[in-house]
Each structure stands twice: as structure tokens, then as C-alpha cells.
Amino acid sequence: MSLFDILGPVMVGPSSSHTAGAARIGYICYKLMDEPIERAEIGLYGSFLATGRGHGTDRALVAGLLGMKPADERIPESFELAKQQNLEFSFGRADFAEAHPNTVKLNLTGKSGRRLEVTAESIGGGRVRIRQIDGLEANFCGDYATLIVHNLDQPGHVAEVTSMLAHKSINIATMQLYRDGRGGHAVMVVECDREVPEESRKWLAHLEGIIKVTYLSMEE
Amino acid sequence: MALKSLEELANIATASGDPFWCVVLKEDIKERQVTKEESFAKMEGMYLAMKEADKQYDGKLRSRSGLSGGDGQRLNEYLDKGESLCGDFITTVMMRAVKMGESNACMKRIVAAPTAGSCGVLPAVLVTMEERFGFSIEQMTQALYVAAGIGEVIAERAFISGAQGGCQAEIGSASAMAAGAAVFLYGGTTQQILHACAMALKNLLGLTCDPVAGLVEVPCIKRNILGAVNALTSADVALAGVKSAIPPDEVIDTMRSIGSMLPKALRETGEGGLAISPEGIKIMEKQQKE
């Protein structure tokens, strides 16, 4: 926690968790997609579902998907802006056996047909946590350049990623590994102290056994 | 982070000869690995954003629920008549607190301080003091360091969200932060800053978070008035040399223990308190239909 978690963020109201956090989740999805989003199916859970409308959670999420940040004064008009920018969206309820009270699940389709499924939670003060990407567990806040690699659960892929980062002199801040079962699908979430260049990400994506590379850039 | 105790912060200030705000600034420099100028510019930006948000108030706006808007305008008109019970200064503070709370409810840009629900307390006190006494932006920024330092200690020792600790954690914390900042601006000592903070928080211990229909509107917006006025009265009491019988850090710890004892129904769930008054339930049912 820093001083500016206490004083701040500068944000569009009314709620840091229900509005600012929701906008931030949408914005992280926008960055992860890395192309205009054309369809968004959004499932709300818990308090997001119960009080989201009154808090503008819906408008904030859509604003984020359009690339707006939590302080963007166009958040209240995001539905109208979505229409202009050809983003179709729908809201429903998401069901989880157990989840943070402010959880949202987004099913997104980009302009090129690229798909992304994200489950995220708003943990207070405008801070958020991404909990699932494309059905596999994850756990990151979007405060770092984050590389997300889906791969087959077989030896060598972690070494490929880390040696590429070492080669580019990129320091790893945190690294997490998850899999759905032995020999199934696995995911690596690597938070980095520096941006990972596009050509390195493309190189990774073409390696055998790597299913998908998703990246969250900190650049504006 | 070293901001775990107000007493400790005060001791560092005494030992180093730095003013309280400067001790907080130095902690930020260490914590975030930034220069003094970067930190100060960011904090100044927060103050300017508060002033801008105050200026942007629009009395015609209504919240999406239809529950709030326009009361800041009413207070403004009342103030203009110059006949308020509390006098122009306090009435201006009250007006600003409500305006910011309403702007927040109407999805305008505000500064969470420490939360969005309590965003009116600090600007109400600070912007009105700047206007009345002509402090420089530099001094106002220093005052925000005092407030943020207090807020961070509260967040470390207790909490600053209604869901965790009830309204005492939001409006109570904001009020304690504003009380300390007000004492600083008015030339009080570090000890007076601490005691103002302790007294302001003590007055609001036990305050529950029971928002109607779960929205940051009723009673949140008007509670910003309480937090702001309580900050100023606590500052004056401390400046008069009165001390809190319970030391500041212990008051914060007490806030934590009370918050932990509060039933869930009174911690931002909308399942208790004003939220389940007959009128509160009526409002909630109307919201759900829409």
C-alpha cells in the first residue's frame, strides 16, 4: 500500500470497487486483447450483480473495454460510445461456487476473431485481480507488464520463456504456473519489470507446444 | 512501509527536526523509489484534482438511482443569504462536502480520499481553508502529506473500507486525516496534529456502513458533512491544547477492534441499519424493479 492508494485514485464515481475497479478490469481486458473488441458477453456475480447498475459498474466495464481508464469522464456515456465504435455487449449473471463478491466474467471477441475469456475481481480502492484467463487460473493485478503463455503441459516451455526474457535482459518480478492436469493445458503468468518486445512475443507464439501468448503492456 | 504508527512518525519528526509532512514525503520517496520532485508533483496533482472536482459541481445532475443531487445547490443558496446558524465558514465547508459527495454519486471525477464514499471530507476542509486564509498550493500539498500519512497508518493498523470496518473506517478515517491536515495548516505542533486526529476518530467510532439499496448515496453523502465539520472542531480543540486521553495509535487500534466486532449486516452489505428501515426497503425495491 502506498500513499497514493490512500489519497487517490482520481476516478469517476461513485465507488472505487464498483466503478473504478470495474473500469480497470475492462481496461486490462482491452490491453490484453490488443485489438478492437467487437463482442462482449459480461457476467456479473455477487455485489457486482446486486448493486452494479446503481454504481455504474456496467458502464464502467464497457468504458474500460473501449480503452477508457477509471478517471475518464466519458464513462457515464460508454454505452452510447460503444454503439458508435461497433462494440456489441450484453450483461447477464455469472455463477461461481465461491468467488470474491465483486467478480465479473468476460467473454470477448476481437475484430480479427480473436477470443479471450477473463474472470476478474475488484478487491477495493480501485485495485483489481485477474483470476482466470481462458479457463485457466491466474493471479495478477495488472501493475506490471505481464506475459501470459498458454502451453501444453510438457517439459521445456518455462525454460523457453525465461531464457527469452534473460536474453532480452528483462527481470521477472513474479512468476506463476498453473495447469488443468498432468499433460493437459498449462499457463504461465510472468510479471516483468520491463516491456517484452513484440517480436519476442511473436517468436514465443510460434514455438511448438505454445498455444497462445497474451500480453498486458504498461505502455499507454 | 514504515508508516505503522503515528507515535513513531512523530518521533522521527522530532529526532530529525523535519516537519511531520516531510517525514511522510521521505517515506514515499523510499517506498516508491521516486524523487522528491516527482512525489511532490503527484501530491500537488491530487490537490488540484480535488479543487477541479469541487469547481465542476453541477446542481442539476442527479444520480442514476435518482436518490441524490441538488442538495449542494440548496446549501449554496442558503449560504448566499448569509443567515446560517453555523456561520459562513462552516456552512461553506458543509456545502463543499455535500457537493463532492453528490458529484461522486453522479459519476463525476473525484479523488478517493481515502475512499470514494468519503471523498468530500478532505476537499471540504482544505479548499475552504485555502480560500479563507490564503494558503499557497505548496502549503496545501504539504497538508495533504499530513493527511495521507495519517491515512496510511490507519490503513496499516486498521482499515479504510466500509466493508471491513463500517463507516468509521471511511468517514472516520477521512475526518481524522482532515483534522491533522487542518492543525498543520493552522500552525499547530506535531503533537497537536496527532491529538486532533485521535479526537476526530474517537468521535466517529462505531459508525456503521448501512447504505440504502447498497448505493454510495444514503447516508454516505451527508456523512461527509459530519466528517468535515468534526475534523475542524477536533482541530480547534487540539489547537487549544486539549489532548486525547487515549493515545492516537490506540484509538486507531480501537477502531479496528470495533470494526471487527461489527456484524456483517452493518458493513456495506445493505442488510442492516438504515438500509432495512421501511423507507430504505421501499427504495431498494424500487431500484430492483428498474
Q: What is the pLDDT of residues B161-183, one digit of tens each?
A: 998 899 999 999 999 999 999 99
Final residue in a domain of this structure, among A133, A156, A186:
A133
Q: What is the pLDDT of residue B36?
A: 98
Share of chain A above pLDDT 70, in %: 100
Do A128 and A76 fall into the same domain? yes
Q: Where are the domains of chain B?
A: 6-289
Do A151 and A198 fall into the same domain? yes
Q: Cβ neighbours of residue A75 under 8 Å, at least 6 residues apart?
A: A12, A19, A23, A56, A59, A60, A63, A68, B107
Of A57, A50, A48, nearest to A76 by C-alpha is A57
Residue of B107, B121, B284 for testing the chain A interface, max A β-carbons within 10 Å: B107
The ipTM estimated for the assembled molecules is 0.94
Q: What is the pLDDT of residue A219?
A: 85
Instruction: Give domain status of residue A139, yes or no.
Output: no
Instruction: Give domain status of residue A23, yes or no.
Output: yes
Q: Over the stretch B178-230, which tens digit does the pLDDT of each residue have?
A: 999 999 999 999 999 999 999 999 999 999 999 999 999 999 999 999 999 99
Q: What share of chain B is helix, strand, coil (3-state, %, to 5)?
A: 70, 0, 30
Instruction: Give domain status of residue A140, yes or no.
Output: no
Final residue in a domain of this structure, among A133, A155, A174:
A133
State mean pLDDT over A165-171.
96
Residue A124 scores a pLDDT above 80: yes
Residue of B216, B217, B218 for testing the chain A interface, max A β-carbons within 10 Å: B216
Residue A1 scores a pLDDT above 80: no
Do A125 and A29 fall into the same domain? yes
What are the C-alpha distances in Å from A2 to residues A127, A147, B67, B232, B282? 12, 25, 34, 26, 41
Please identify every stretch of chain B with a pLDDT value under 50, giving residue numbers as ranges: 1
Under CATH, which architecture does the B6-289 domain have?
Orthogonal Bundle (1.10)
How many interface pairs between A and B have CB atoms less than 8 angstroms apart?
A: 128
Peptide bond into A197 cis (omega under 30): no
Q: In A, which residues are within 8 Å of B45 by CB distance?
A: 10
What are the C-alpha distances in Å from B149 to residues A168, A187, B18, B178, B191? 39, 40, 14, 11, 14
Length of chain A: 220
The beta-carbon neighbor of A6 closest among B110, B148, B214 is B148
- Under an 8 A CB cutoff, do B111 and A10 touch? yes
Instruction: Give domain status of residue A138, yes or no.
Output: no
Cα radius of gyration rounded to whole Å, chain B: 18
Residue of A12, A15, A80 for testing the chain B interface, max B β-carbons within 10 Å: A15
Final residue in a domain of this structure, among A64, A98, A133:
A133
Q: What is the pLDDT of residue B2?
A: 63
Of B158, B173, B147, B142, nearest to B4 by C-alpha is B158
Do A9 and A67 fall into the same domain? yes
Q: What is the pLDDT of residue B287?
A: 87
Chain A closest-CA separation from residue B174 CA (Å): 10
Q: Count of domains in chain A?
A: 2
What CATH number is associated with residue A25?
3.30.1330.90
Q: Over the stretch A14-49, which tens digit does the pLDDT of each residue have?
A: 999 999 999 999 999 999 998 999 999 999 999 899
> What is the domain range of residue A210?
145-216
Instruction: Give domain status of residue A52, yes or no.
Output: yes
Residue A185 scores a pLDDT above 70: yes
The beta-carbon neighbor of A15 closest among B46, B145, B216 is B216
Q: How far apart are CA B244 and CA B226, in angstroms?
A: 19
Q: In A, which residues are within 8 Å of B275 by CB distance?
A: none
Q: What is the pLDDT of residue B219?
A: 97
State mean pLDDT over A129-144.
92
What CATH number is associated with residue A201?
3.30.70.260
pTM for this entry: 0.91
The beta-carbon neighbor of B49 closest among A2, A10, A55 is A10
What are the C-alpha distances in Å from A46 to residues A49, A88, A102, A104, A137? 5, 24, 6, 9, 20
Q: How far apart are CA B217 and CA B240, in angstroms?
A: 35
CA nearest to A75 within chain B: B107
Do A155 and A125 fall into the same domain? no
Q: In B, which residues are within 8 Å of A19 by CB distance?
A: 107, 116
Q: Cβ neighbours of residue B257 under 8 Å, at least 6 residues apart?
A: none
Q: Over the stretch A57-109, which tens digit does the pLDDT of each residue have?
A: 999 999 999 999 999 999 999 999 999 999 999 999 999 998 988 999 999 99
- Under an 8 A CB cutoff, do B31 and A73 touch? no
CA nearest to A69 within chain B: B109
- Under an 8 A CB cutoff, do A124 and B63 touch? no
